[in-house]
Amino acid sequence: MARLPLVLALTCLGSGATLLGGRALLSLIPAPDPNTPTPTLERLRRFSPDPERRRETSLLLLPRLEKGDLAGERRLLSGQGWGGNELAALVLKRDALATEALGDQAAAQQNWQLLVRRFPDTPTSADGLYALGRQQPQLRQKLSSHFAFHPAALAAAVEAGPSELDRLQAALHLADHGVRWPGAEPRLRKACQSKSAVATPSQRDKLARGLAQLGDSAAALSCLKDSAPSQETQLSLSQALLGGDREQQAQAQSLLLQLTKSAPLSSQASKAAAMLSEQPGPRALQALKQLPSALQDTAPIRARLAMESGDIGATLNVLQRWPSDPASWELQWQQARLALLKRQWATATTLLSSPIGRKLPVGLVGRQLFWLGFSQKQQGTSAKAQQTWIDLIKKHPGGYYGWRAAVRLSRGNLNLNPRSSPALLQPRWHPLGSGDWQIDQLWRLGQPLEAWEHWRTKRNSPPSSPLELIVEGRLRRAVGDHWIGLGQLEQASLRLPVAAKCGLAQQLERDLQTASFVAELEEAGATAGLPATLLAAVAKQESRFSPGVSSNAGAVGLLQLMPATAAEMAGMPLAAEALTDPARNAQLGALYLKQLLDQWQGNPVLMAASYNAGPSATAGWVTPLLQQEPELWIEAIPYSETRLYVKKVLGNLWNFQQRPLASC
């Protein structure tokens, strides 16, 4: 018996060592993610000794169930709501939604109550507050104060009532935290027009700013009545007015000039001056001369004045003083483009060789290097030109300029043969890298909506840095918001510095090269006899893969078809709503693209120009220069929109076909 304590101690130590060893061994096994095969997930869910791993695999299996299999979802979630971490809260939420959809309201209420009680501070409980708030309005107030940016709080604001005061407070919440949320705009309008709940001047200013951000300058001005707008509202209102007619543009310029004079040292005044510098015409130029002295010697103003004067010395001075300012980047390109079109190769080389190249973001380096090589070749230094293009396709092989450099070096070209053109890249999961372990974990477990809601809840300002834009853009695309999401990814490429981590740059390129609605585009391409990559290239530029968007001109859907064009391709009249179906839109858009490609004997440049500007306008631009120097021909297109469109579509096509990544 004397030895019993020793035996027990050794047994406990052995068991502890075994547990620790098992835990260490488990940590060496890669964590499951959406790329893990289903059979592997099923084995882990049943046989893994780690309960956390079993829960993770259960969550990963949820998206792989057949749509509407609520019983299967409850089976996977059964017994997984243990512990005190975010995943337990997620299990309770998913189970509550499933039981609610199955009609078991009592069980759903219990789950919602348990969620709110156990996890009051986690963003997931916002859904519980929203659901319970249907019968307990005070919980909706808690929702809006604790989780202001959460989609549940925004949805609750849209539904707010019945009193006018409740609706006013809800409209103010939407103006602050979700002005673009579906249903927010009519709420803001009604709050401005309400006579029973009179808004204060500061509240009207906030509502007006929201309406201006939505582009409705008339409603914003009406909401303000006779009160003076704040500086932030002046900026938003000016931005909206600049998109209007000549009279509205003049009104915007007056507002901007007034702002610069009232607070010349403020950040808003700097933004106002920059906006003024971007406006064309003599009126804007005259306004620049009236700016306070504190704003006269800034990059946007000096860049505009240098551009107007055409003085290369003044241009080089701006580039030297402000190499990191976007106004300098645009000045360099516009002056270089004019020199190229005038065949002033030495001037173009001087401009493009400026040290500003070391400060350009990733998305602009290809343009600078391509035209530098082009100018070098025109001056007879072919070896130097070739080396410049080699550097370009090594460091920045994607996009329009990567394509043109590859053609110049005989290293590839676009493929319009549907039989030999590569298929579209299938979307594949990659780590998010948000810097927040909870958000990254939710993303890894195939819960993009939950990750997106956490991201929104934890942020109180729009993304600004390249990393933030990349993370939010990927999250938005994952939940179906391709319009804003893809726009943010493209914006990130114009802000990502050349010195950024190569892995981040490559991930951004992969995201930009991944299409949506792959199956629909592949089928439409096969039917029309076109590569699906061409359809994806057009869809990306036309709608950012957003099937529900419409243009001011009336174009609808994935490939932005005009109803008349769609009717011609279909051989029958079509309602605009029919064109929001991505499969139907892709089929008709493919037929029209095939018609244009046949019309221009397979020339992709003329096809792209015609899709944007129309075949008649394009026919009037055709000259021998198109065959001799196609890059210069494109730069000579008189419509700036079409000029950019052609480069974007053909650059997209190159990316979808070659999938180039920057070298590390």
CA 639 – CA 650 distance, rounded (Å): 17
Q: How many CB atoms lie within 10 A of CB 183?
A: 13
- First vs last C-alpha separation in the chain: 68
Same domain, 552 and 447: no
| 364 and 329 Cβ atoms separated by less than 8 Å | yes
Domain finish residue from 159, 192, 213: 159
**Mean pLDDT, rounded, for 578-602:** 96
Say which range, 423-432, 440-449, 615-624, has the weakest mean pLDDT: 423-432
| 594 and 530 Cβ atoms separated by less than 8 Å | yes
The percent of residues above 90 in pLDDT, for the chain, comes to 83
Same domain, 508 and 528: no
**Mean pLDDT, rounded, for 89-97:** 96
Domain total for the chain? 3
Packed helices 217-224 and 184-193: angle between N→C axes, nearest 10 degrees: 30
**Mean pLDDT, rounded, for 380-391:** 97
Domain finish residue from 104, 132, 159: 159
- For 236-260, b/e burial (b = at least 16 CB within 10 A) is bbbbbbbeeeeebbbbbbebbbebb
- The pLDDT assigned to 575 comes to 87
> Can you give the CATH number for the domain in which 129 is found?
1.25.40.10
Q: Give pLDDT tens digits for 391-412.
A: 999 988 999 999 999 999 999 9
User: Residue 556 in 3-state DSSP?
Assistant: strand
Q: Which residues pair with 427 in a beta bridge?
A: none
**Mean pLDDT, rounded, for 275-297:** 92
Domain finish residue from 159, 192, 216: 159
Same domain, 546 and 476: no
Could you please report the per-residue DSSP string of 41-93? HHHHHHH-S-HHHHHHHHHHHGGGSPTT-HHHHHHHHTT---SSSHHHHHHHH
**Mean pLDDT, rounded, for 374-382:** 97
Rg (CA), the chain: 29
- The pLDDT assigned to 19 comes to 43
Active site residue 542: yes
The percent of residues above 70 in pLDDT, for the chain, comes to 95
What are the CA-CA distances from residue 46 to residues 49, 56, 61, 317, 439 (Å)? Answer: 9, 12, 12, 69, 26
For residue 505, pLDDT over 80 is answered with yes
- The pLDDT assigned to 27 comes to 54
Same domain, 482 and 557: no
**Mean pLDDT, rounded, for 319-348:** 96
For residue 320, pLDDT over 90 is answered with yes
- The pLDDT assigned to 500 comes to 76
| 302 and 313 Cβ atoms separated by less than 8 Å | no
Q: How confident is the model at residue 198 (pLDDT cuts 50, 70, 90)?
A: confident
Same domain, 525 and 617: yes
Is 530 within a domain?
Answer: yes
- The residue among 84, 96, 80, 160 whose CA lies nearest residue 128 is 96
User: Residue 35 in 3-state DSSP?
Assistant: coil
CA 641 – CA 114 distance, rounded (Å): 55
What the block records as the tokens of 505 is: 């740059």
**Mean pLDDT, rounded, for 486-497:** 93
- The pLDDT assigned to 430 comes to 94
Residue with tokens 């070659």: 658
* Angle CA 247–249–251, to nearest 5: 70
Cis peptide before 162 (omega within 30 of 0): yes
CA 631 – CA 407 distance, rounded (Å): 11
Q: Which residues pair with 497 in a beta bridge?
A: 361
For residue 7, pLDDT over 70 is answered with no
What the block records as the tokens of 119 is: 């996890």
Same domain, 475 and 566: no
Contacts of 401 (CB under 8 A, 6+ apart): 366, 367, 369, 370, 392, 651
| 473 and 511 Cβ atoms separated by less than 8 Å | yes
Is 554 within a domain?
Answer: yes
Is 602 within a domain?
Answer: yes
Average pLDDT over all residues of the chain: 92
Q: How confident is the model at residue 196 (pLDDT cuts 50, 70, 90)?
A: confident
Q: Give pLDDT tens digits for 209-245.
A: 999 999 999 999 999 988 889 999 999 999 999 989 9
Encoded amino acid at 289, one letter: K
Is 578 within a domain?
Answer: yes
| 604 and 588 Cβ atoms separated by less than 8 Å | no
Q: Which long-range contacts (CB under 8 A, 24 or more apart) does 31-37 make?
A: 31/56, 31/444, 32/56, 32/57, 32/60, 33/60, 33/429, 33/431, 33/444, 33/445, 33/446, 34/60, 34/63, 34/429, 34/444, 34/446, 35/428, 35/429, 36/60
> Can you give the CATH number for the domain in which 590 is found?
1.10.530.10
Same domain, 453 and 544: no
Q: Give pLDDT tens digits for 470-485.
A: 999 999 999 999 999 9
CA 553 – CA 661 distance, rounded (Å): 36
Q: Is the dihedral of CA 396, 398, 401, 405 positive or negative?
A: positive
Is 588 within a domain?
Answer: yes
- The residue among 427, 426, 511, 429 whose CA lies nearest residue 466 is 511
Q: Give pLDDT tens digits for 522-578.
A: 999 999 999 999 999 999 999 999 999 999 889 999 999 999 999 999 999 888 889
For residue 20, pLDDT over 50 is answered with no
- The pLDDT assigned to 223 comes to 93
What the block records as the tokens of 289 is: 């001369």
Contacts of 210 (CB under 8 A, 6+ apart): 174, 175, 179, 184, 188
CA 478 – CA 472 distance, rounded (Å): 10
Is 582 within a domain?
Answer: yes
Same domain, 506 and 524: no
- The pLDDT assigned to 661 comes to 80
Q: Give pLDDT tens digits for 244-266.
A: 999 999 999 999 999 999 989 89
Encoded amino acid at 317, one letter: N
Q: Which residues pair with 556 in a beta bridge?
A: 550, 561
In the chain, how many H helices and how many E strands? Answer: 39, 0
Q: How confident is the model at residue 116 (pLDDT cuts 50, 70, 90)?
A: very high
| 625 and 633 Cβ atoms separated by less than 8 Å | yes
Same domain, 597 and 567: yes
Q: Which long-range contacts (CB under 8 A, 24 or more apart) does 246-250 make?
A: 248/217, 249/279, 250/283
Same domain, 543 and 606: yes
Q: How confident is the model at residue 18 (pLDDT cuts 50, 70, 90)?
A: very low
What the block records as the tokens of 129 is: 């507050």
CA 453 – CA 156 distance, rounded (Å): 15
Same domain, 477 and 592: no
Same domain, 543 and 497: no
Q: How many CB atoms lie within 10 A of CB 315?
A: 25
| 642 and 616 Cβ atoms separated by less than 8 Å | no
Encoded amino acid at 508, one letter: L
Q: The domain containing residue 97 runs over which residues?
A: 31-159
Which listed residue (185, 509, 520, 542) is catalytic? Answer: 542
